[in-house]
Amino acid sequence: MRIALDAMGGDLAPGPIVAGAVNAVQAHSELRIVLVGDQTKVEPLLAGAPAGAQARDRLEIFHCTQVVGMEESPVVALRKKPDNSISRCWQLLAEHKVEAIVSAGNTGAMVAGGFRLKLFLKNVRRPGIAAILPTLKGPCVLLDVGANVNPKAEHLFQYGIMGSIFAKYILKCDQPKIGLLNIGSEEAKGHDLAKETHALFNHSQHRGDFVGNVEGRDINKGVCDVIVTDGFVGNVVLKLSEGVFEFVMKMTGKELMATLQNEKPLGQLALQNLIKRYDYHETGGAPLLGIDGICIICHGSSGERAIGNALGVAAKYIEAKLNELIVNDIASNPTMASEE
């Protein structure tokens, strides 16, 4: 299997990005990676890669001259920089030269690149980014976390379907329960989008898996396996979870240091274990579900390990034939199979 990696995307690119690719081909013998970026910068970084079948032979470079900056306006950048690494990754995917693309670059540009090409799975209205949140009962899929800030109810409904397939085949959740993020538990709560989405689920063949509204305080309790919401709220939830976690870790550290006597180092060790366990570097990026192909968006600050994990995850999605499952499920929902 062949994956395109945006060698220029991310705060740390290209060094740790290329290093992550080298690790990935060593770890996965079936993997071939196309490093998309400036050849003069990428080539020297490959000098250290082990020669032969172990690695170097399965690393190619697709040269391009431009990079979308992390803070650039996605739409403007894609227009003004036609030879940027993100657009080239999408081009390789559209031409079926790769099965997956991975980038730690400008998230908005990654999404816009796919939306511009309309490289969507059959009957998928709008792709959405899925993130995995920890809960007391295991991982939970949240989507969308930023691709679609003005969704329609049909989009959220499809996010439920796609998230559910993701939870089942990737997270190995037996019968995923779907919840709608809302501001109260009753059906009539929230804005129009929430009410319409609620009705769509209740009148679909997924109603048996739909647990109704879930509130902000329920997410980490693990009341369901998939939570759907619009890209604005999802993005806030994802980043706030990260922020509150960091805040609580800092406050807890202070409190422990002030309270413990002889076991301060053990207290610190416990917190370090927790921070490691909930580190986003371990999760391997967030998939943009609904794309005809696999698209993984990594945290901007991703380093070698995060990129390596993301490439491994992309390989897993390809193997699981995630997209076939999504297309079949959406086709089996009659209201959704018709054109918009």
- 270 part of the interface to a copy of itself, by CB under 8 A: yes
Mark the segment that binds a copy of itself (CB under 8 A) among 205-213, 230-238, 289-297, 324-332.
230-238
256 touches a copy of itself by CB under 8 A: yes
Asked if residue 249 binds a copy of itself (CB under 8 A), the reply is yes
* Contact stretch for a copy of itself (CB under 8 A) within 21-29, 35-43, 262-270, 332-340: 262-270
Q: Is 15 in the site for a copy of itself (CB under 8 A)?
A: no
* Candidate list 54, 273, 332, 335; residue touching a copy of itself; CB under 8 A: 273
Task: Tell me which H or E stretch contains 138.
Answer: strand 138-143
- If one asks whether residue 216 binds a copy of itself (CB under 8 A), the answer comes out as yes
> Does position 338 bind a copy of itself by CB under 8 A?
no
* Cis, bond preceding 144 (omega within 30 deg of 0): yes
Token digits for 188? Answer: 């009539």
Q: Is 135 in the site for a copy of itself (CB under 8 A)?
A: yes
Cβ count near 217 (within 10 Å) = 8
- Sites for a copy of itself among residues 141-170 (CB under 8 A): 146, 149-150
Q: Is 65 in the site for a copy of itself (CB under 8 A)?
A: no
Give the type of residue at 54.
Q
Per the listing, tokens 């299997």 go with 1
Q: Which of 24, 178, 233, 314 binds a copy of itself (CB under 8 A)?
A: 233
Asked if residues 228 and 180 have their Cβ atoms less than 8 Å apart, the reply is yes
What is the smallest separation between the CB atom of 57 and a copy of itself, expressed in angstroms? 40
Which of 2, 43, 134, 327 lies at the binding interface for a copy of itself (CB under 8 A)? 134
Tell me the closest approach of the beta carbon of residue 218 to a copy of itself, in angstroms. Answer: 7
| Residue 100 beta carbon to a copy of itself: minimum distance, rounded to whole angstroms | 25
SS3 for 42? helix
Least spacing, CB of residue 115 vs a copy of itself, in Å: 16
- Tell whether omega for the bond before 6 is within 30 degrees of 0, i.e. cis: no
For residues 49 and 42, is the Cβ–Cβ distance under 8 A? no
Tell me: does residue 262 bind a copy of itself (CB under 8 A). yes
Is residue 176 classed as helix, strand or coil in its secondary structure? coil
CA atoms of 145 and 188, how far apart (whole Å): 24
CA 301, 305, 308 angle in degrees (round to 5)?
105
C-alpha of 49 from chain center: 28
Task: Kindly state whether residue 199 participates in binding a copy of itself, applying the rule CB under 8 A.
Answer: no
CB 183 within 8 A of CB 191: no
Asked if 207 touches a copy of itself (CB under 8 A), the answer is: no
Under the binding rule (CB under 8 A), the answer on residue 245 touching a copy of itself is: yes
**Alpha-helical regions (H) of the chain:** 15-27, 39-45, 74-80, 85-94, 107-117, 153-169, 192-202, 231-259, 264-277, 304-320, 322-331, 334-337
Neighbouring CB atoms inside 10 A of 117's CB total 15
Name the site residues for a copy of itself (rule: CB under 8 A). 71, 73, 108, 134-136, 146, 149-150, 181, 183-186, 188-192, 194, 215-221, 231-233, 235-252, 255-256, 258-263, 266-267, 269-271, 273-274
